[in-house]
Chain A
Amino acid sequence: MLARDGWPVAVNYRSGEAEAAAVVASIEAAGGRAVALQADVADPAAAGPLLEGAAAALGAPVLVLVNNAGVRADGLALSLTDEDWQRVLETNLGSTYRLTRAALRAMIRARFGRVINIASVVGPRANAGQANYAASKAAVIGFTKTVAVEVARRGVTVNAVAPGLIATDMTAGIPDVLLERVPAQRAGTPEDVAATVAFLASAAAAYITGTTIYVDGGLSA
């Protein structure tokens, strides 16, 4: 949807090369510009080279950043391993911080920027078995608010999108009983989330910053 709005898109992937290539192909088929870039954003050294690579490939600095990388490693808090904790925090929160820090350099100079962090309904709300994930996503929302305040007068907005139950690989296997708790009585789609991201990236959302938009079919209401 960002490509449909005219943005050239750099698609980052860690291991899903074929899936990233398919996204690029679909954008190009629709007349847009896109490039796929491999990097594991959980690696603290990845952020700078990834953004530089995207800028070089697209011929312009990255002025819209969507922090979308997320993993989960579920288990009750009393049985989580340190590795489960670190991996989820580094990928979901650490990458958001490092990429945002790196991208803000160009954004504040351009007097324009959009940072869109993908959070979750889990974090603001409890979900047994996901203490690490909840901590990472609640922290992303806190991070979003403070960074938004820091850079607002440079024309840079920083917002979060909190999806509920969305039909993706990461939510495969979630029992139907959970769907019954969603007022909309269906899982959301990636397109539901993408539309919100595209809105936040648009000129129409220039005065929205530091907030979280829930895309959850009413789950958090």
Chain B
Amino acid sequence: MAEPAQIEKVITDSLISFGANAEDVNRDAELTALDIDSLDLAELSQIIEEQFGVELTSADVAEIHTVGDAIDIVVERA
């Protein structure tokens, strides 16, 4: 069972590795403002699936607008 803090760290680290500025990454940050695009989200989905066993469909991903949205959906299903 993954801890919410661990999920937040994996997601945050992934977004930073995709090029988001570390100081801009917080729960309320919009992914588009962080320059996170659909390819980044596809890769993030893979990472989440591998690390937490949570499979995100393209419909799920379409509902993710902020960093907090991403964390919450994984915490909910992990």
Contacts and interface: CB of A to CB of B under 8 A. Distances in A.
Q: Do A and B bind each other?
A: yes
Interface of A: 105, 108-109, 150-151, 153-154
Nearest to A106: B46
A154 B46 contact: no
A154 B43 CA distance: 10
A153 B42 CA distance: 14
Main secondary structure of the interface of A (DSSP, over half): helix
A109 B39 contact: no
A150 B39 CA distance: 7
A63 B46 CA distance: 17
Contacts of B43: 108-109, 154
A105 B39 contact: no
Contacts of A150: 39
A30 to B, nearest CB: 36
A151 B39 CA distance: 7
B interface residue count range (under 10 / 10 to 19 / 20 to 34 / 35 or more)? under 10
Nearest to A154: B39
Contacts of B42: 108
Q: Which 10 A-B pairs have the closest CB atoms?
A: A108-B43, A105-B46, A150-B39, A109-B43, A151-B39, A109-B46, A154-B39, A108-B39, A153-B39, A108-B42
A151 B38 CA distance: 11
A153 B46 CA distance: 17
A123 to B, nearest CB: 28
Interface in B12-46: 39, 42-43, 46
A153 B39 CA distance: 10
A19 to B, nearest CB: 35
Contacts of A153: 39
Nearest to A104: B42
Interface string B46-66: 100000000000000000000
A154 B42 CA distance: 12
B53 to A, nearest CB: 16
A150 B43 CA distance: 12
A150 B42 CA distance: 11
